[in-house]
Amino acid sequence: MARPSRKDEILQAALACFTEVGVDATTIEMIRDRSGASIGSMYHHFGNKERIIAALYLAGTAQYAELLERGFAEVSGAEACIKLLVTSYIDWVVANPDWARFILHNRGRVEASELGEQLREANRQHYARIFQALAGYREQGLFKPMPVDCFSSVIIGPTHDLARNWLAGRTRSELVDCRELLAQVAWDSVRA
């Protein structure tokens, strides 16, 4: 396994600080101390705390998108693709709960930052890839007719809600134990 880059070390140190003391209470000095990076390295890679926040957010969403992309390369069929959207999301959240909590609570902050357009573009590409993977099945009439902008919410909505509650400690069920149920619910919600 390759050694993490200095940039990745800084991001993971930032995540640890954000998890322990909160995003607002974390300082650049805390992240620098935790990562062992020099001030020069911190400013070279990021420039300021808001850019660290945005970079951490974008790295997390990119990691999930990569997981999903690998899954699309391995599965075929409308049902498998829809279920993959749910199971990949759950797998990423369960493997990265602190990162998932961070993403859940900081989207608006990143959207309002100087890197907001980068986030919006990453989201456009992510959803375009999903719709591309599903386009042939849609053309075959394998999905219920519904507005395109509702489609992803119908698929991931229940999973996102349970994940949010699980991350907040408000569920009795373990998220991973609901993986197959939520994948089936997603498929049942959109199949023709």
- Where are the chain's structural domains? 1-47, 60-190
pLDDT score of 2: 62
Name residues whose C-beta falls within 8 Å of residue 172's C-beta, 6 or more positions apart in sequence: none
Distance CA 47, CA 78 (A): 44
Name residue 1's amino acid.
M
pLDDT score of 3: 66
Query: Each residue of 105-139: pLDDT tens digit?
Result: 999 999 999 999 999 999 999 999 999 999 999 99
Residue 17 sits at φ, ψ, to 5 deg, of -65, -45
CATH architecture for residues 1-47: Orthogonal Bundle (1.10)
CATH architecture for residues 60-190: Orthogonal Bundle (1.10)
The answer to whether the beta carbons of residues 84 and 72 sit under 8 Å apart is yes
Tokens at 117, concatenated: 């357009």
Is the fold of 1-47 the same as that of 60-190? no
Query: Each residue of 39-92: pLDDT tens digit?
Result: 898 889 998 999 999 999 999 999 999 999 999 999 999 999 999 999 999 999
Q: Find tokens 């935790």 and name the residue.
A: 34
